[in-house]
Chains A and B, each alone.
Chain A
Amino acid sequence: MIVLKEIEKALGKKIVLKNLSFHIAFGEKVGIIGLNGAGKTTLMNVISGILKPDKGFIRVNGVESPMEHHHALRNIAYISGTRPQLWKDLKIKDSYEHCQKMYQIDKETAKCRLNALDEIFEVKPFLTAVPNSLSLGERMRCELVYGLLAEPEILMLDEALIGLDVSIKHKIMGYFEQCRMEKKSTMLFTSHNLLEVEKLCDRVILLDKGEIIFDGSIKRMMKEFAPLYRIEVKFEGNLPDFEDLPLEKFYYEHGVLEVVFDKQKIETTQLIKHIMEKCTVKDVKIKEPDLEDTIKKIYNGRKRS
């Protein structure tokens, strides 16, 4: 469980985090998104205890500063794509052995966990390799296993899925979901890849210049900031008239009708039913607003105001 209240943090003269408050419960999967320099990594660093906030109140699993409470740190894995934990000159298995001692994991237990993790991350072939001889994705898989060996309750991933193949990413996402279901693990992600965030997280915290501009489910964000849906209809016959429907816009070009509507005013099904009554429909495509566009829109909106 993570609680932040009115957190403020300046690095040098620049205020990086402004008045942040939120609450993350056990088993939540939260994505922290924002443009470069929005304060994502600083926020992660504050939560993990690497940085001390200048003002405000923070509790991670009930502990104020995890860095000073080793039992608390044992339950947090902070895996970063840019700050490797693995020894760069040593074999992967040496790093794992170090992790086992550092986190006081029983030798047999560590072996079992490694076997289990290998099913998902497929790191066994790399155990005798040195990180520098591996590709980015392979190294990242080894990093993830290093962090997961201690079976943390809180998992923090800072750009930690970079360089991974789609198939393995899919497996990893499944694994995270399983962790959440079985162990109630709490997960925090930062990523530039919004598709990834959309797949992984139930909740997003959108940061802009150190402030939270949105905190809630992706669904709610879409509804609030991007209520406009589009449908494309190919049809035969005459153009139906929409005069009695609360539509935003419609275009007709090359036999394709494009309708833009606000989901809060009219349901998709209702609209389609209306069209099908009036003409013979050959094909329908429904376009949901995508996350990336929505976020772009939110940021643009803020720049103007």
Chain B
Amino acid sequence: MSEIRTAIQSLKMSFRTRMQYRVDALVAALAVFVRESTNIIVIYLALMKFQNMNGWNVSEMLFLYSILFLTYAFVVSLFADLRDFPRMIREGRFDRLMVRPRGLLFQLILSNADVIASVGHGTLGILLFVYSAGKVGIEWNLTTILYYICAIIGGILIQGGMFIFFSSLSFHFVETNSLREIFYWNMRKFAGYPISIYSKLIQGLMIYVVPFAFVNYFPAQYLLRKEDMANYNEVYMYIAPLVGVGIYSLAYVFWRISIKRYKSTGN
């Protein structure tokens, strides 16, 4: 109970911080929305010309993308401090969490929530979902709705787990931003398209190393059953929500081990 109250307090604090300059906050949310929309416009224009991509039509592609946005809208608020973790360490802001009587990840999660970015990503995700969900031939019944919710939670956990993993690396190496850039942000861009269009190497990376495929591709496949699923093991569709739990737990263990190596920054 007290955990929940503290979490709500953290969220309130982040919201107040971010809303200090209201106009600025609104513009920032709009900027995120516009920036991310350009990706969508590119897909839309490309598919006007090619009709489909490996069998995926425009609505299906947008449905695939909507999962990415919706999960990220949660990730960016839940894990904002872990997204910017190297900076937090450099500025010495991490020490203060260590002397408070609560779990570190518990304190990091929700603290400094980037609610502005959440609004940007979330709005876009909802718009895309509303636009595409009715057109892609999904029969929305109890099973599919439950699966969808589990898949979204799984997708949040996968990305949160990755942030925790990359943050843990900060205890071992001074500079980890480029790793994060290559493996998180680039892979995320790839995840906007069905992974079957990529080379085997990238597909392998996205399934086994940086498992973005389980964030949106396999969950979308469960609901859409496109032909290119024949390239992969069918089990992947069913275990997609579980992968999140697995990745998150692994990342948590790695975090616990890594934290012992923490060297505070000097005064």
Contact = CB atoms under 8 A, between A and B. Distances in A.
Contacts of A227: none
Nearest to A49: B98
B264 A45 contact: yes
Contacts of B102: 70, 102
A41 B100 contact: no
B5 A50 contact: no
B2 interface: yes
A76 B264 contact: no
Interface in A80-99: 80, 82-85, 87, 89-90, 94, 97-98
B147 to A, nearest CB: 36
Given A70-B103, A94-B13, A101 B5 contact: yes
Interface in A189-222: none
A289 B20 CA distance: 54
Q: How large is the interface on A (under 10, 10 to 19, 20 to 34, 35 or more residues)?
A: 35 or more
Contacts, number: 71
Contacts of A12: 263
Contacts of B264: 42, 45, 50-51
Contacts of B101: 70-74, 102-103
Contacts of B100: 73, 102-103
B137 interface: no
B232 interface: no
B6 to A, nearest CB: 5
Contacts of A42: 264
Nearest to A99: B100
A48 interface: yes
B92 A87 contact: no
A50 B2 CA distance: 24
Nearest to A190: B267
Given A71-B101, A97-B9, A103-B101, A41 B266 contact: yes
B95 interface: yes
B107 to A, nearest CB: 8
B17 to A, nearest CB: 5
A73 B10 CA distance: 19
Contacts of A71: 101
A286 B2 CA distance: 60
B182 interface: no
A178 interface: no
B9 A98 contact: yes
Interface in B1-21: 2, 5-6, 9-10, 13, 16-17, 20
Contacts of A101: 2, 5-6, 9
A78 B263 CA distance: 17
Contacts of A11: 263, 266
A78 B17 CA distance: 24
Given A41-B266, A82-B267, A98-B13, A48 B98 contact: yes
8 contacts: A11-B266, A48-B99, A50-B95, A70-B103, A101-B5, A101-B6, A102-B101, A159-B267
The 8 closest A-B pairs by CB, nearest first: A73-B101, A74-B101, A70-B101, A78-B99, A101-B9, A101-B6, A89-B17, A50-B98
